[in-house]
Structure 1
Amino acid sequence: MAHRHKRVSLQALIDDALAETPPGRVVWVALSGGMDSSLLLTLAAAACRRHPRPLRTLHVHHGLQAAADDFETHCRRLASRLGVPLFVERVAVERDAGLGLEGAARQARYAAFARRVAPGETLWLAQHRDDQAETFLLAALRGSGVRGLAGMPSEREWQGRRLVRPLLARSRAELEAEAGRRGLHWVDDPSNADETLDRNFLRRRVLTLLAQRWPQAGETLASSACHAAEAEALIAERAAEDLATLGGDPARLPLAGLAELSPARRRALLRHACHRLELLTPPAARLEALLAQFDARHDARVRVSWAGAEARIWRGHLHFLPSRPPLAPTWLVEWDGVSLLATPWRTVDVKLVPEEGGQASLRLMPRQGGESLRLARRGSRDLKRLLQEREVPPWERERLLVAWHGETPVAVLQPDAMRWLAVAEGWRAEVGKE
């Protein structure tokens, strides 16, 4: 008589996932306080007792509802009982970011992950098979392409960190049964009952109805996401080959090379470039608007934007970059030329000192127009002409800072790239480490 293959227990599944983490590498568990993440942390703690690894847990406090403090309290109690160090990140969700509440909360959450989890470390997320089915349906209803239909990967590299979803192949029902056997307590997020949110409506209404007719609906939808992921992997391989052919820089694509690709390969390459740059993929309408601009005249200032990102066409190339708020023309900072410099976008380690030695009292402010610098062996040079000579794109010129000594401009800083574009005669500039 044939024996059925025994299904691996959830604990064995987590033990195996832990074994794939290099010894000594920190493993983090994202802990919301709900059933799935509370179970994942419990299983991870048990696995680490048998196979020692440094384990930590991270709770993101979104502050979106009155129950948020209760979530944190539960997380602190659970982490304390399990003996796992807990870190809490409080975030402000940008409701007007154009991403919707769920999208804005996700963006804030991942920003918190990046702040707390160091590059080279691993972060475990507790999504399961039912979450994957919901993601697939949401993507289909939004008209997403193959990448969207592929749903959530079981693991991926993200900003130098490893994101892993060890429970992704298991159902919510199986997780609930295991949590019940272990006598776990968790908190139910009241917002999960809000059916004005798309995911909640799908979970509570649509998938429940589908399961009545097709009991394996959740499993088969998640399986379709796996098929889409395989197709996406093939598309990504071809797009990577096209990118290499066009120079290999996802932030700067030559229009002439793009024009030689078929429309489907062109779209795939643009999506691949955004993915490589960790920018949101442009919605279909924005992508088509961008493609329609490829024949713009040489000096046109084409700009197509979407949530958190934008594309520019300039001098025969398509440029992708993150959106940045404009710099207020009245912005000004006093600086001694040697301290770390806090700009509106980032803090930079640069220096600017007189060649004869000592420090100087400097002011940094945006370009006002009409500035000129006296350069060694070149005399007085108009800043506008200097930027044209050095082919600084127009959008980068908008974020330059001019250093003034008294009433004289003495240097131009590009904070994004942490570099000095021009330094006047009699001054010495340095750039520190990233």
Structure 2
Amino acid sequence: MDDVTETLRRALATLPPGALCVGYSGGLDSGVLLHALAALPEARARGLSVIHVDHGLQDYSADWAQHCQQTAAALQLPLRVVRVAVARTGGDGLEAAARAARMAAFGQHLAPGSLLALAHHADDQTETVLLKLLRGAGPEGLRGMRPLRRLGANRLWRPLLALPRAALQRYASAHALQWIDDPSNLDTRHARNFLRNDVLPLLRTRWPRLDTAVGHSARWLAATAEQLDGDAAIALAQIQGVDPATLDAAGWLALSDALRPLTVRRWLRDLGLPPPEHVHIEQLQQQLQRAGDDRNPCVSWAGAELRRYRDRLHALAPQTAPAADWQIDWDGRSPLTLPAGCGRLAAVAAPTGPLQLQVRFRRGGERLRPHDDTHTRELRDLLQQAGVPPWQRGRLPLVHAGGELLAVADLWHTAQAEILFGGPLRYEPDA
């Protein structure tokens, strides 16, 4: 039995349940995977099917789709062709954009619980690990591609990672397979192609066992990454606040160099915020170590920012400040939606009579006497004493009547507001 078939048979024996679908490009690698799986009854028993993503980046991409249709038909397997639009501009480059579009198409068109089989092999793993290394990745990145991982509601399965591409070439030759060579794979302007075509052949002449060695390292790092991920989960549980969007800043700084990045990335992932790059984590660490207690350091990147206030680290999406002169009349009877994503304001009970209220944001110098207090207070002092973070203070709605401040969101209200509204206002900030 050939290496490809034997590898697939062993991998299928331990594969979790689920319908099996092959991601088929029409090239040699995915052609070998498709042909070999189609020959195995245990693969067909899983409802084996095929999906081809047409990126539309080549003038003859329609011919490739037709080749895939003919191959699937010859193997008596159902095929779905999915056409996607790839953004040709962007910071990550065309190669990354095509991959993102492809993975999105897989996630959209696979039935939940499916297993998507891809034909990555040991040579691909070497390229991936070295590219990650050149980008400064840690253990999680240097573990390379995993044989089995989650893909939304499905799983991504790479059963050939332990085999060199030479094994796939032998299989293709033995079975007289036909495939398409993508000429863009020769374009060394793309980092992976440069590594594959120019760098790795030279390295292999000096280190013939390069791919085996890199594969071993990737497996060791995978085990390390899993251990660190578990440690990061424990660390996060110990330093996360009652408000899940906060962390104990000193507790985070006290973590080991290995755990700090993993813990903050896990924290942000759980909050649905984009993860930071290594440089952002270094900036955060340096600012927290150097900033005095009276400073509020902030590190931001696309889609997220981390701010310290007092002893807590806060994670939030970037916020747009409301216009300084914004003001609106309000009768207190209908809920009011505030600008710049500042939330909604409503009275718990209908006011006792017609009101002419004005709602605006802080402009400085505001004062009020809370209904349960005997003194008039500076709003600035009240906010500080209540521990309201500085970036939230300018987003709190202030309700005025006749030039007098009656209420600050749902935090404070005067005796007059107590009579008019029967208690504090209801304020719902945007998440």
- The TM-score normalised by the length of structure 2 is 0.69
Change (3 A) 1:66 1:170: same
- C-alpha displacement at 1:117, in angstroms? 2.2
User: Which residue matches 2:93?
Assistant: 100
- C-alpha displacement at 1:127, in angstroms? 0.6
Change (3 A) 1:8 1:83: closer
User: Which residue matches 1:421?
Assistant: none
- C-alpha displacement at 1:317, in angstroms? 5.1
Change (3 A) 1:167 1:261: same
Secondary structure in structure 2 of the residue aligned to 1:58: strand
Of the candidates 175, 194, 200, which is equivalent to residue 168 of structure 2? Answer: 175
User: Which residue matches 2:416?
Assistant: none
For residues 68-100 of structure 1, the C-alpha deviation after alignment (integer angstroms, 9 at most, x for no partner) is 223222222222222222222222223443222
Tell me how far apart the structure 1 counterparts of residues 294 and 73 of structure 2 sit (CA, whole Å): 62
For residues 100-121 of structure 1, the C-alpha deviation after alignment (integer angstroms, 9 at most, x for no partner) is 2222222222222221224322
| Structure 1 stretches lacking a partner, 5+ long | 1-6, 330-363, 399-434
- C-alpha displacement at 1:37, in angstroms? 1.0
Secondary structure in structure 1 of the residue aligned to 2:39: helix
- The TM-score normalised by the length of structure 1 is 0.69
User: Which residue matches 1:61?
Assistant: 54
Whether the 8 Å CA contact 2:122–2:163 is kept in 1: the answer is yes
Tell me how far apart the structure 2 counterparts of residues 393 and 113 of structure 1 sit (CA, whole Å): 44
- C-alpha displacement at 1:176, in angstroms? 0.9
Tell me how far apart the structure 1 counterparts of residues 391 and 65 of structure 2 sit (CA, whole Å): 46
Q: What code does the residue aligned with 2:300 have? A: V
Tell me how far apart the structure 1 counterparts of residues 318 and 123 of structure 2 sit (CA, whole Å): 34
Whether the 8 Å CA contact 1:26–1:55 is kept in 2: the answer is yes
Of the candidates 213, 222, 235, which is equivalent to residue 229 of structure 1? Answer: 222
- Percent of aligned pairs sharing the same letter: 39
Of the candidates 286, 305, 317, which is equivalent to residue 311 of structure 1? Answer: 305
Higher strand share: 1
Secondary structure in structure 2 of the residue aligned to 1:44: helix
Question: For residues 278-297 of structure 1, what are the structure 2 equivalents within 5 Å?
Answer: 281-294=275-288
- C-alpha displacement at 1:209, in angstroms? 0.9
Whether the 8 Å CA contact 2:49–2:77 is kept in 1: the answer is yes
Tell me how far apart the structure 2 counterparts of residues 63 and 300 of structure 1 sit (CA, whole Å): 49
Q: Which deviates more, 364-373 or 82-91?
A: 364-373
Whether the 8 Å CA contact 1:311–1:318 is kept in 2: the answer is no
Q: What code does the residue aligned with 2:46 have? A: R
Q: What code does the residue aligned with 1:36 have? A: D
Tell me how far apart the structure 1 counterparts of residues 42 and 261 of structure 2 sit (CA, whole Å): 48
Aligned residues: 354
Whether the 8 Å CA contact 2:23–2:30 is kept in 1: the answer is yes
Q: Does 1:18 align with 2:20?
A: no
Q: Which deviates more, 263-272 or 184-193?
A: 263-272
Whether the 8 Å CA contact 2:287–2:297 is kept in 1: the answer is no
Secondary structure in structure 2 of the residue aligned to 1:57: strand
Q: What code does the residue aligned with 2:136 have? A: G
Tell me how far apart the structure 2 counterparts of residues 286 and 146 of structure 1 sit (CA, whole Å): 18
Change (3 A) 1:182 1:156: same
Q: What code does the residue aligned with 1:162 have? A: R
For residues 153-199 of structure 1, the C-alpha deviation after alignment (integer angstroms, 9 at most, x for no partner) is 11122323221110000010001110111111111111100011111
Of the candidates 32, 52, 57, which is equivalent to residue 39 of structure 1? Answer: 32
Tell me how far apart the structure 2 counterparts of residues 158 and 277 of structure 1 sit (CA, whole Å): 19
Of the candidates 246, 262, 269, which is equivalent to residue 263 of structure 2? Answer: 269
Q: Which has the larger radius of gyration?
A: 2
User: Which residue matches 1:346?
Assistant: none
User: Which residue matches 1:332?
Assistant: none
Change (3 A) 1:74 1:317: farther
For residues 220-246 of structure 1, the C-alpha deviation after alignment (integer angstroms, 9 at most, x for no partner) is 122222222222222212112112223
Tell me how far apart the structure 1 counterparts of residues 390 and 81 of structure 2 sit (CA, whole Å): 40
| Structure 2 stretches lacking a partner, 5+ long | 324-335, 352-356, 363-382, 396-431
User: Which residue matches 1:431?
Assistant: none
Change (3 A) 1:106 1:378: farther
User: Which residue matches 1:194?
Assistant: 187
